[in-house]
């Protein structure tokens, strides 16, 4: 790539980082901060695209999946969340096992991945979740059940007065195959104290993921960015996750989530620009050298920005989704779901090769 031979990166003061990327060397915290401060997002994007191409070529993954949110009732009341309702508040809901099955049956294609998450409900016991998992597993034995964030696992443990290890063991026995990456937000205590003081701490989130890896479960990671966090806090988040992966090796995919501002209690002065979103995705690819996949989550990014993200380090387009609540309550303007052919056309439209995958990223 001629770009890599030119003095372009010298002019951007990124030549040493370019050399590290070329040599496959780990970037430091300071490198991450410098990448964020680089005035030229395209330079950062080119470096991330280099890494993405080295790992995956032009292959771009997607999955036939279905999201199900079992409740929006949540005791945590995070400042940024437009989805949450109090118990008894109008608009609050809890799905039954039959409701969950009906949603899965109504999906146009049988899912290869089922993503089930919800609020931290004050009364739903672990037997409710075991029942849902075993029922879904029985009806969809080929689907990977990617369910419950570490925040929910911590909540179940507190409600049942048992350890998170026991919760994970029981859920795995009921059919859990993987955990999604939600609830990580930003690990910095300053931010969590302001935005989500009631939910699991960063250390709890990381420990639960590492426990899950110890039990043979794969998990994902996320970062919610574009609210009150500093650049240093974003890089700190990525470094903490990278260190966690060095310890337990079970993270499969990372999802950068841009903060959507509608219906949120949190108001911010400087909403993200499209280029800042892309640069952040690129820095995630560059810093997380030990996590194989970066997701362009079209639901939160919008499909056109998700397509652009495929040239800024992302290699996964998530999936058909079918119905999404968390982002749409917060103002996401994307479709509720996409068909397999729409996903493939969008990926091909970017000059990439679509690869249908299962929940564990095995090509189908």
Q: Does 74 carry a binding-site annotation? A: yes
Stretch that binds ligand SF4, among 23-31, 60-68, 74-82, 140-148 (CB under 6 A): 74-82
H/E element holding 151? helix 150-160
- Residue 50 or 146: the one with the smaller Cβ distance to ligand V47 is 146
Question: According to the binding rule CB under 6 A, does residue 84 interact with ligand SF4?
Answer: yes
Contacts to ligand V47 by CB under 6 A: 80-82, 149, 180-183, 185, 220, 222, 224, 255, 257, 259-260, 264, 297, 300, 326-327, 330
Q: Does 120 carry a binding-site annotation? A: no
Question: Tokens for 22?
Answer: 């070329």
- Residue 31 or 236: the one with the smaller Cβ distance to ligand V47 is 236
Among 177, 127, 183, 176, residue whose Cα is nearest residue 150:
183
Question: According to the binding rule CB under 6 A, does residue 294 interact with ligand SF4?
Answer: no
Q: How far apart are CA 298 and CA 295, in angstroms?
A: 9
Binding residues with ligand SF4: total (CB under 6 A): 12
How many residues comprise the chain? 364
H/E element holding 355? strand 353-356
H/E element holding 131? helix 126-139
Q: Does 350 carry a binding-site annotation? A: no
Beta bridge partners of 63: 319
State the alpha helices, DSSP H only, in 8-93. 8-11, 15-23, 29-37, 41-56
Which partner in ligand SF4, ligand V47, none is near 313 (CB below 5 to 8 A by kind)? none
- Residue 82 or 308: the one with the smaller Cβ distance to ligand SF4 is 82
Residues 185-214 that bind ligand SF4 (CB under 6 A): 196, 199
Question: According to the binding rule CB under 6 A, does residue 314 interact with ligand SF4?
Answer: no
What are the DSSP calls for 2-29, one per residue? HHHHSSHHHHTT-HHHHHHHHHTPPPPH
- Beta-sheet pairing, 59-63 with 353-356: parallel
**What Rg, from alpha-carbon coordinates, does the chain have?**
20
Other CB atoms within 10 Å distance of the CB of residue 177: 21
- Residue 95 or 191: the one with the smaller Cβ distance to ligand V47 is 191
Pattern of binders to ligand SF4 over 89-128, x per CB under 6 A?
A: ------------------------------xx--------
For Cα atoms 288, 65, 129, give the angle at the middle one, nearest 5 degrees: 90
Question: 75 near 199, Cβ under 8 Å?
Answer: no
Contacting ligand SF4 (CB under 6 A), which of 14, 47, 74, 303?
A: 74
Minimum distance of ligand SF4 from residue 81's CB (angstroms) = 3
- Residue 282 or 299: the one with the smaller Cβ distance to ligand SF4 is 299
Minimum distance of ligand SF4 from residue 201's CB (angstroms) = 13
Q: In the sheet where 59-63 sits, what is the strand order?
A: 316-319, 59-63, 353-356
How would you label 340-361 residue by residue, b for 16+ Cβ within 10 Å and e otherwise? beebbebbeebebebbebbbeb
Which partner in ligand V47, ligand SF4, none is near 199 (CB below 5 to 8 A by kind)? ligand SF4
Q: Does 196 carry a binding-site annotation? A: no
State the alpha helices, DSSP H only, in 263-333. 274-287, 298-301, 303-309, 326-329
Which partner in ligand V47, ligand SF4, none is near 45 (CB below 5 to 8 A by kind)? none
Question: According to the binding rule CB under 6 A, does residue 148 interact with ligand SF4?
Answer: no
Q: Does 4 carry a binding-site annotation? A: no
Q: In the sheet where 251-258 sits, what is the strand order?
A: 65-69, 113-117, 144-147, 178-179, 218-225, 251-258, 293-294
- Residue 257 or 288: the one with the smaller Cβ distance to ligand V47 is 257
- Residue 34 or 192: the one with the smaller Cβ distance to ligand V47 is 192
Which partner in ligand V47, ligand SF4, none is near 74 (CB below 5 to 8 A by kind)? ligand SF4
Stretch that binds ligand SF4, among 72-80, 123-131, 162-170, 316-324 (CB under 6 A): 72-80
**Known binding residues:** 74, 78, 80-81, 185
* Residue ranges binding ligand SF4 (CB under 6 A): 74, 76-78, 81, 83-84, 119-120, 151, 196, 199
């Amino acid at each position: 790539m001629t770009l890599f031979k030119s003095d372009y990166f010298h002019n951007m003061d990124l030549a040493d980082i370019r050399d590290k990327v070329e040599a496959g060397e780990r970037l430091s915290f300071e490198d991450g901060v410098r990448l964020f401060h680089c005035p030229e997002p395209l330079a950062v994007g080119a470096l991330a695209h280099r890494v993405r191409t080295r790992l995956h070529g032009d292959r771009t993954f997607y999955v036939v999946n279905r999201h199900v949110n079992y409740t929006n009732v949540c005791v945590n009341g995070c400042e940024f969340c437009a989805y949450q309702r109090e118990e008894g508040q109008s608009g609050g809901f809890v799905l039954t096992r039959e409701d969950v099955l009906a949603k899965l049956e109504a999906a146009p294609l049988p899912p290869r991945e089922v993503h089930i998450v919800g609020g931290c409900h004050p009364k739903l016991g672990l037997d409710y979740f075991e029942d849902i998992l075993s029922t879904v597993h029985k009806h969809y034995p080929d689907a990977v059940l990617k369910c419950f964030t570490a925040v929910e696992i911590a909540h179940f443990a507190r409600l049942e007065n048992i350890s998170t290890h026991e919760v994970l063991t029981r859920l795995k026995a009921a059919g859990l195959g993987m955990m999604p990456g939600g609830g990580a937000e930003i690990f910095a205590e300053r931010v969590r104290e302001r935005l989500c003081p009631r939910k699991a701490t960063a250390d709890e989130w990381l420990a639960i993921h590492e426990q899950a890896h110890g039990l043979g479960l794969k998990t994902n990671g996320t970062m919610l960015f574009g609210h009150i966090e500093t650049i240093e806090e974003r890089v700190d988040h990525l470094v903490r996750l990278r260190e966690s992966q060095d310890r337990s090796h079970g993270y499969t995919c990372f999802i950068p989530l841009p903060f959507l501002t509608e219906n949120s209690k949190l108001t911010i002065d400087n909403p993200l620009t499209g280029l800042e979103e892309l640069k952040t995705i690129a820095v995630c690819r560059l810093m997380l050298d030990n996590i194989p996949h970066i997701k362009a989550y079209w639901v939160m990014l919008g499909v056109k920005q998700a397509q652009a993200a495929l040239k800024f380090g992302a290699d996964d387009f998530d999936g058909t989704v079918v119905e999404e609540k968390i982002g749409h309550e917060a103002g996401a303007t994307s479709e509720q779901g996409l068909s397999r052919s729409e996903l493939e056309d969008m990926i091909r439209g970017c000059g990439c090769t679509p690869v249908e995958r299962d929940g564990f990223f095995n090509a189908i």
